[in-house]
Chain A
């Protein structure tokens, strides 16, 4: 089946530093990847849609200069949290879309736990 990986699985950083999270589709090419943020005991909040070779589309209320997304290849998208602050601490999950003919599914990565001290 389609496998999506994320790296790192957890990261702790100091306030003011930047953190990069990678999302990879391991056995398929994904023209579209999504980044979600999950708060404790809450649902997933879509942050942005990332298309290979073009700028990401951010959801309303998400700061694009704060959460930099790059989708440089068909198997890799990165989310960089710039100048992280404690309120950015969260669980970040990516997904990759597979679309072929009538088949259209998203496969999710295992998530990255970010803790900002």
Chain B
């Protein structure tokens, strides 16, 4: 079946540090890949996505590149801010047909200190 594995947290960084949150997946075909962010006490917001190999999703300074060869979709940001403190979820949606269920990783808590 489909699965998403992301690095265990929590991750604690100082402001302006470089961020990487690793995400790898298992799926057949070419799934769409997503990063969602959940701020404290809130629901999930789509951060970025990529729908095919070598696509790069980007938003708010965050980037992730769909690597088919390594089945990865690592999240990066060059300089984090305190406001980036949140839980980040990697997710996939299988390709084709009417299957639109999302499979999520376990989430990674990021805390950015001033």
Contacts and interface: CB of A to CB of B under 8 A. Distances in A.
Contacts of B44: 44, 93, 95, 108
A49 interface: yes
Report whether over half of chain A's contact residues are helix, strand or loop; otherwise say mixed.
strand
Contact of B46 (A41, A46, A105): A105
Interface string B81-114: 0000000010001000000111011110100000
Interface in A88-117: 93, 95, 97, 99, 104-111
Contacts of A4: 43
Contacts of B43: 4, 6, 93, 108-111
B86 to A, nearest CB: 14
Interface in B22-52: 36, 41-46
A65 B72 CA distance: 39
A5 to B, nearest CB: 10
A54 interface: no
A23 to B, nearest CB: 10
Contacts of A46: 101-102
A22 to B, nearest CB: 14
B3 to A, nearest CB: 11
Interface in A27-55: 32, 34, 41-44, 46, 49
Contacts of B109: 41
Q: Which residue of A41, A97, A99 has the most chain B CB atoms within 10 A of its CB atom?
A: A41
B2 to A, nearest CB: 12
Given A44-B89, A110-B42, A110-B43, A97 B100 contact: yes
Given A93-B44, A108-B44, A110-B42, A43 B100 contact: no
A32 B100 contact: yes
A95 B44 CA distance: 9
Contacts of A108: 36, 43-45
Contacts of B107: 41-43
A51 to B, nearest CB: 11
Interface of A: 4, 6, 32, 34, 41-44, 46, 49, 93, 95, 97, 99, 104-111
- The 3 lowest CB-CB distance pairs between A and B, nearest first, are A108-B44, A108-B43, A110-B43
